[in-house]
Amino acid sequence: MKKLKGYLEWGGMKKDIIFLSLSGVMLVLSFFHVSVFSIDLAWIAILLCGLPIILEACIGLITEFDIKADVLVSMAFIASILIGQIFAAGEVAFIMQLGALLEDLTVQRAQQGLKHLLSLSPQTARRIRRINGRESEEIIPASDIKKGDKIRVFAGETIAADGMILYGKTSINQSAMTGESLPVDKKEMDEVYSGTINQFGIFDMEVTKETKDSSLQRMIQLVESADAGKAKIVRFADKFATWIVIIAVTSAILTWLVTGEIIRAVTILVVFCPCALVLATPTAIMAAIGNLTKYGILVKEGDALERMAKVTDMTFDKTGTLTYGKLSVLRIKSITDKMSDEDLFALLAAVESKSEHPIGKAVCDSFRLQESLKTKDNCPNVSAWEVLDFTMEPGKGVKGNVCGTTVFAGNEKVMAERKSEFLEKAVDHAADYVKSGCSLIYIEMNHVIIGYAALSDTMRKETPEMIQQLKKMKIEPILLTGDQKHAAKSIAAMAGIEQIYACCLPEDKLNKIRQKEEKEQYCCMVGDGINDAPALKQAYVGIAMGGIGSDIAVEAADIALTNDDILALPHLVALSRKMMQVIKINLTFSMGLNFIAIILAMTGILNPIVGALVHNAGSVLVISHSAVLLKWKKK
């Protein structure tokens, strides 16, 4: 049996296309009575297309007693050969293999998501040991890390294990685990997680969990469990294959017994073959996929569009999905008459120009953008002001000497510790920005607050329109984010989303999706980050942002937006629903045609060859109807 399966799998898609093309040419020649050494060329199609069908049917029956459409096709195929209808046999085999190839083309997908997840964790770690009172470092495989080990992490490195900082201060990019748009400042005794990235500086940490229990491994396990739990849609013809086989065989036997003509019985088996039924779904799916590629939508799994048509809820990650996923200065405000907002921006950019912190880099990028718009210069300098005696205090802020004056930029907590003047006034000014979830930087000169900058991840301009279109289509939008409540509520209010779940870890997102499904709500998840991968796998349909999104999110999803255009989502939903209408019409037509053909076969009006041609006509009509989807547009 293994050898038979090996034969079927040999060569993959290339072999199928070559065999199918050659069979098609041979059938055309056979139709015009071209032969070689008096051998009908339809035999080539029988060998190349028919033999695999018989083998597949035998494997299913022997190993699992699984009756599929292949069983009926094999019976009709063999019966046609036995009564000398070689062309009919070859034609039936060819059409069935064409349908199978179309299905294979629609359901192919890469299975590399877990490999990408595993590659996130570094292969080695820097373990610290004390030998004879002296500290030493040794490079060890990450898999050898044990609970209680002390390891050192350099700037830019990915943390190899879950643990607690023993020495040092830094800022950690935790988007892989939480999806937070901002890096998180860390100090002694704070927890850090595997798979997250050290932004700057060096710190020592103690490992608190074994590798198999780490955050990254839990993520892998979540993805695996979500994928295993996702049900697949069964092909229509296979779903009812057992009944089709029973009815076909019973009809053929009764017709033979009543009429005494075996050719009528064989014709019934031929016309009963679910050729058009097999083509009804994959042709519509392929046409819909062709349509979606024009909108930058990549469908990775064929039955995802069938599932998409049933979606009632659409959950969104915030950062990188509804927003651009990049910090920028939303507002710069001077609270003193001695300095304008523009000069304050230049001063802040000058001080932050030497900072390694992501917020400092965001300030400089925003300042450069503003200057380039004013000067039409693509590469403006950060600031003309020179900064001396620069220092950076992780978790607090930056300090430098500008034109003989000490300038400090930091958060509210550190300004309170420094007892800076006019802090309350600045905090009152910035209150609305704090409520909306912005990150605030207060600027101080000689212990006097002179202004503040509010930074935020900007919402995509098309988000509100997209949400409104989904609501009109009776789909409930839901925000599912790892960000804090203030930021989540602010974006949700601007987008028009009522249901909000903030501070969600990867397992929280996955569980929310599961809860929806337990209530028989078909839920679609749209996300971009590594932390979204489990939810994307679990969801009835997973959609990843293909441009800004991580490789893991794209691999975990069924569908990817290659250019991150979320305004294409309503078209995706509408087209999937239209596709299901086309499939239902195709199936109804196919079954109606089969019924009429069976009556004609029973009465002797149809013979096997004409019956096969009727199937051809039905298949052509099904394909033509499906092709309408190629140019369909949402009104």
Phi, psi of 320 (to 5 degrees): 85, -10
* Angle at 78 (CA atoms; ends 76, 80), nearest 5 degrees: 65
Q: Where are the domains of the chain?
A: 122-213, 325-459
Cα 224 to chain centroid distance, Å, stands at 15
- 29-46: pLDDT as tens digits: 888 888 888 888 888 888
Return the pLDDT at 155: 84
**Domain formed by 325-459, architecture:** 3-Layer(aba) Sandwich (3.40)
Do residues 612 and 558 make contact, with C-beta atoms less than 8 angstroms apart? no
Q: Kindly list the strands in the beta sheet with 170-173, ordered across the sheet, starting from the edge strand earlier in the chain.
A: 184-186, 170-173, 197-198
3-state SS of 337-392 is CCCCHHHHHHHHHHHHCCCCCHHHHHHHHHHHHHHHHHHCCCCCCCCCCCEEEEEE
Return the pLDDT at 477: 96
- Cβ within 8 Å of residue 539, ≥6 positions away: 315, 513, 523, 524, 525
Average pLDDT over the chain, rounded to an integer: 80
Do residues 203 and 168 make contact, with C-beta atoms less than 8 angstroms apart? yes
- 208-262: pLDDT as tens digits: 988 777 766 666 655 554 444 444 444 555 566 567 777 777 888 898 888 888 8
Alpha-carbon distance of 83 to 65, in angstroms, equals 28
Q: pLDDT class for 2, splitting at 50, 70, 90?
A: very low
Choosing from 16, 317, 483, 558, the catalytic residue is: 317
Return the pLDDT at 233: 45
Q: pLDDT class for 149, splitting at 50, 70, 90?
A: very high
Q: How far is residue 143 from each of residues 127, 161, 345, 573, measured CA to CA in Å?
A: 12, 10, 47, 44
Residue 317: active-site member: yes
pLDDT at residue 569 greater than cutoff 90: yes
The hierarchical CATH code for the domain 122-213 is 2.70.150.10
- 172-213: pLDDT as tens digits: 877 655 555 567 888 899 888 887 888 877 899 999 988 777
Return the pLDDT at 3: 36
Alpha-carbon distance of 12 to 161, in angstroms, equals 40
Cα(first)–Cα(last) distance of the chain, in Å? 52
Q: How far is residue 258 from each of residues 254, 382, 408, measured CA to CA in Å?
A: 6, 94, 100
Return the pLDDT at 581: 94
Alpha-carbon distance of 432 to 438, in angstroms, equals 9
Return the pLDDT at 542: 92
Phi, psi of 230 (to 5 degrees): -85, 120
